[in-house]
Chains A and B, each alone.
Chain A
Amino acid sequence: MSRTLRFVLSLAVALAPAVAAAQAPPVKLGLLLPYTGVLSVQGTDVTNGIELFLKKIGGRAGGREIQLLKEDDEAKPDVGITKLKKLVERDRADFLVGPVSSVVALAIRNYVHEQGTPLVVPVAFTRVLTSPQQASPSIFRLAETTDQSNYPMGAWMIKHTKYRKVIVMATDFVAGRHAVEAFMAGFKAAGGEIVKEIYAPLNTPDFAPYLAQAGSLQADAVYAWFAGADAIRFVKQYKEYGLAARMPLTGHGVLTDDTVLPAIGDAALGILTMHGYSAAVDNPENRAFVRDYEAAYKVWPSRYSEGGWDTAMLIAEALESLKGDLSNRDRVREALRTALPKLKLPRGSVQFDAYRQVIAPILVTRTEKQGSRIVNAVVDRIPSVSQEATWGWWNK
């Protein structure tokens, strides 16, 4: 054999595995997240968490490259449906990730169920999505439901604080209303009294009318649910209108999550909230995660970042167990389901219940200053809260 030919052949042999691997098409992750609007920070954070994890594993799993396709749902249902159709029918996404907005989640549920593309939900917490009536074999949720992260707060408050009469304030849309409903059910079941419910539209720039209304009533505390930019404005204005002194502010974790704390500043100190994750959680996985995240993005991760990280970890683990073979949708779904308990997530260890909803630890935190940073310091931890334990008041 000529030297050239031998050279070419050995080169071909050396390159063959790379060529073969390169020939398997990349796994497409379709991200349906809000990149504009009130919830845009959450969309960006989820994406950051996903990208950080993918970078850590070299962008490949199960022998295949992972490709991200990002679509902005603007937190609007009609836009979400349009973009989802694009991801599924035109781009042929293998996995779907998202959404953040519960409203979008409800709007896309039927389509996802019909199409059968596995959807991993890192944030949208509407209880309807994984309820017995609406749960779909293709929908896997890694975020706790509004019940899981609001209902237990009622009993906790009665047990650990002196608040017996509470005003409830929230954004007037699906997520806000469901959240405070769950809190109210839990609070009343434990013996508390709800003085008033006050709702403001999404993206309210000026809470003055609502705060004045709250201020004119007698109560021990306020329980609030506001997200993103609304949370920033609400907490700041709550302090400005002088309510903080008379009626301590409490709420769901979204009010003081790590995305908004830097923007709120000192007005956020002393707020008691309940959520599934705080960057101040103290375990080895989380410390590493926070360190890597901060190095990459210069800010602390939020629960949305952690949700994205968990999502990427789950899909990568499923891909590994399938060895990259996505041809059988049932096997893909099974792989996703069985992969979760094996994972060591920053928030601890979780598993899926019968409806593919996560059973997870829930934290009670209080905002305080640690050094120059304001964090959600963990006050209490309830190890494994399931949706079934918290839905007795509506799912009879």
Chain B
Amino acid sequence: MIVRAGAAVGALAVLPLTLSSYQVDLLTKMLIFAIFAMSLNLSLGYAGLPSLGHAAYFGVGAYTVGLLAVRVWNNFWVDMACGLAAAAVAAALFGLLALRAEGSYLLMITLALAQVLWGIAFGWRRLTGGDDGLPGIPRPAEGLPLSLADGRRFYYLVLVCFVVSVGVLALVTRSPFGRALVGIRESARRMEVLGYDTWRYKYVAFVLAGLFAGLAGNLFVYYNGFVSPAYLSIVFSAAALIMVILGGAGTLLGPVLGSAVIVYLENAVSAYTQRWLLVLGLVYVAVTLFVPEGLVGLLRRRKAQAA
């Protein structure tokens, strides 16, 4: 397992040397969205908490970093730390409200909360630039030994964050905490009878998911140099959802696969046609109809059948 992981990381580390700057850029985007999807997976796939508003924490992280970098103090460590903290706080607050609901109501309340943030970002022009957003956010440079303005150098930062995220999430999901979460997802009542405080487990998972979504948001705002209310919208939340479901909810690396497929598809399809959203919509429909267990589930099934 460790050997395979090491080989994969090694491959990802060496890849930029053979790729064009445009391709490295694309790979960077894939890794950022992989982190975003994995964060949602913790909430959805492991804790069984579906959310139509996960972009809220992504966006909060992004806006925090953006606002600090442009208006207050452009220092990589400070801005990143604040971005992560803001995302975690948002998740902590929203979790208190959201976890009172289940099923459709959970979907709706998470959407509603994300929309409240969207409304603030959209309306409070003086702070956030409103619908115009905040342009001109520089790549991380201050506070670091060298500037990450170069695409390849920035890629390595994202890669490090990705590896750390995978590592932490792997540890969490394989720990007793993680196993309890799965138990709660399967049957909360049974776990309660066994003496688990199910609410607390779900809450911790929710906040942790928000934290990692914030990390993805932080990186994305550096990637684009720009932040806008779109980062808080249902479009981003739904994209994370489909990446998780396409890859395989409840598996560690499913979301990574899902995000790679979606980002790659978007890039490939957009080169030939304007109809990317049509294709994306078809992906949503096809996945829910034909591949509900995700690609990883599909691969496992094939392997089991072959064996």
Contact = CB atoms under 8 A, between A and B. Distances in A.
Do A and B interact directly, with beta carbons closer than 8 Å? Answer: yes
Nearest to A101: B132
Contact of B230 (A76, A106, A174): A76
Given A106-B136, A109-B135, A111-B225, A90 B130 contact: no
Nearest to A105: B135
Interface stretch (A55-63, A77-85, A330-338, A383-391): A77-85
A72 interface: yes
A76 B132 CA distance: 8
Interface in B84-129: 125
A77 B132 contact: yes
A111 B132 CA distance: 17
B293 interface: no
Contacts of A110: 135-136, 138, 225
A148 to B, nearest CB: 21
A106 B20 contact: no
B135 A89 contact: no
A83 to B, nearest CB: 8
B201 to A, nearest CB: 36
Given A78-B224, A78-B230, A89 B21 contact: yes
Contacts of B135: 77, 103, 106-107, 109-110
Contacts of A78: 133, 224, 226, 228, 230
A172 interface: yes
Contacts of B271: 86, 90
Given A107-B135, A173-B132, A85 B225 contact: no
B25 interface: yes
A13 B132 CA distance: 58
B22 interface: yes
Contacts of A82: 224
A135 interface: no
* A35, A76, A77, A86: most-surrounded residue (chain B CB, <10 A): A77
Interface in B36-60: none
A106 B135 CA distance: 6
Contact of A107 (B131, B149, B226): B226
A109 B135 CA distance: 9
A85 B270 CA distance: 13
Interface string A359-377: 0000000000000000000
Contacts of A157: none
Contacts of B225: 81, 107, 110-111
B224 A81 contact: yes
Contact of A103 (B125, B133, B224): B133
A149 to B, nearest CB: 20
Interface string A170-197: 0011100000000000000000000000
B230 A172 contact: no
Interface in B232-267: none
B305 interface: no
B132 A103 contact: yes
A76 B230 CA distance: 10
B226 A89 contact: no
B18 interface: no
A174 B228 contact: no
Interface of B: 20-22, 25, 125, 130-133, 135-136, 138, 149, 224-226, 228, 230, 270-271, 274
Report the 8 A-B pairs with minimum CB-CB distance, sorted nearest first.
A89-B22, A107-B135, A103-B132, A106-B135, A90-B22, A174-B132, A107-B226, A173-B132
10 contacts: A72-B274, A77-B135, A78-B133, A85-B25, A106-B132, A107-B136, A114-B149, A172-B125, A173-B130, A173-B131
Given A81-B225, A110-B135, A172-B125, 9 more contacts: A72-B274, A76-B228, A78-B133, A86-B22, A86-B270, A89-B20, A89-B25, A201-B131, A202-B131
